[in-house]
Chains A and B, each alone.
Chain A
């Protein structure tokens, strides 16, 4: 049990909390019965499961899982299906970046778990955006010029 492990897992958990909130906003702007709404519902459930898994991992490490905020400030106004889809893609970018904190850990199982979650978030972002990114989860400042 180390502080570094708990801190990294808390970073990922905070991102999962915001994604759980955000997918509620996304779903509210998608048409009833649409394929997009079905996708948003599936992704929402996946984030809830990851949230619960992370909370359990933190508890196992002797930590106190961070709780969700009551509300989150959206990165841009969400007023339509297209802006809702942009929000979903943007949130997945953020989730991928948060799990990179877990990838940085030395514990083999945690590092592998983090990498799988970066990949899963990137795949969800691709499905919303319809295009790919060269470096999911890495801020531009971390790349060499």
Chain B
């Protein structure tokens, strides 16, 4: 930083402003070089927040996968709705990951599988609705530490997740 090496925050911000991606590998190599000299400093708040949001989206995608496995194949309306929403979460995850410059995930960092208790389609959908509302509120609560472009992405994903609640509730049988 004082020696002219860009901080990870600067790398993140530069990418957010659309600077060429070709500049990134060099900057990351520089970071690793510094870390050899001592324990790395904790990542700045915006990177920690983005990492947490990525983990939360991974868990959400896994939660939908587990729900799809539990829904009866005959409940085509619920399956269609749940798959539609899961596709949006996969899109959220891809956008969040694209904002983070990070080394390949450590093997231990793979998300743990989500297990959900068996239940009726109605109770499975209600559990998803609760998870969506909580995820939306959590993202809105995390906006303040973020640079503007990332705050806009978080606000957008929070809005999308909030709309999943009424969308899932309108599935026939969701209220049972």
A122–B167 CA distance with the chains assembled, in angstroms: 12
Interface of A is mostly: helix
Kindly state whether residue A137 has any CB partner on chain B within 8 Å: yes
Contact across chains for A132 and B163 when beta carbons are under 8 A apart: yes
Contact across chains for B151 and A122 when beta carbons are under 8 A apart: no
Q: Which of B44-52, B60-68, B154-162 contacts A (4 or more CB under 8 A)?
A: B154-162
Contact across chains for B143 and A132 when beta carbons are under 8 A apart: no
Contact A132 B152, CB 8 Å, known A115-B143, A122-B159: no
Using Cβ atoms and an 8 Å threshold, which residues of chain A touch B85? 132
A138–B92 CA distance with the chains assembled, in angstroms: 12
Using Cβ atoms and an 8 Å threshold, which residues of chain B touch A104? 148-149, 151-152
Interface string of A2-43 (1 = CB under 8 A from B): 000000000000000000000000000000000000000000
Contact across chains for A136 and B160 when beta carbons are under 8 A apart: yes
Contact across chains for B160 and A122 when beta carbons are under 8 A apart: yes
Contact across chains for B163 and A122 when beta carbons are under 8 A apart: yes
**Nearest CB in chain B: distance from A96 CB, A:** 7
A106–B87 CA distance with the chains assembled, in angstroms: 31
Contact across chains for A103 and B164 when beta carbons are under 8 A apart: no
Using Cβ atoms and an 8 Å threshold, which residues of chain A touch B153? 135, 138
Kindly state whether residue B166 has any CB partner on chain A within 8 Å: yes
**Nearest CB in chain B: distance from A127 CB, A:** 7
Interface of B is mostly: helix
A144–B84 CA distance with the chains assembled, in angstroms: 21
Number of B residues contacting the other chain (C-beta, 8 Å)?
A: 32
Contact A100 B160, CB 8 Å, known A119-B140, A132-B85: no
Using Cβ atoms and an 8 Å threshold, which residues of chain B touch A106? 148
Q: Which of B136, B156, B163, B167 contacts A100 (CB 8 A)?
A: B156
A5–B171 CA distance with the chains assembled, in angstroms: 41
A114–B164 CA distance with the chains assembled, in angstroms: 20
Contact across chains for A132 and B167 when beta carbons are under 8 A apart: yes
**Nearest CB in chain A: distance from B48 CB, A:** 18
Contact across chains for B144 and A111 when beta carbons are under 8 A apart: yes
**Nearest CB in chain A: distance from B139 CB, A:** 8
Kindly state whether residue B5 has any CB partner on chain A within 8 Å: no
List, sorted by A's number, 16 A–B pairs whose CB atoms are closer than 8 Å. A112-B140, A115-B143, A115-B151, A116-B140, A123-B166, A126-B167, A132-B84, A132-B85, A132-B163, A134-B87, A134-B91, A135-B153, A136-B156, A138-B152, A138-B153, A144-B95
Using a CB–CB cutoff of 8 Å, the interface residues on chain A facing chain B are 96, 100, 103-106, 108, 111-112, 114-116, 118-119, 121-123, 125-127, 130-138, 142-144
Given A115-B159, A132-B160, output 14 extra A-B contacts at Cβ < 8 Å: A96-B159, A103-B151, A105-B148, A112-B143, A115-B155, A123-B159, A126-B166, A126-B167, A132-B88, A132-B164, A134-B91, A137-B152, A138-B153, A144-B99
Using a CB–CB cutoff of 8 Å, the interface residues on chain B facing chain A are 84-85, 87-88, 91-92, 94-95, 98-99, 136, 140, 143-144, 148-149, 151-160, 162-164, 166-167, 170
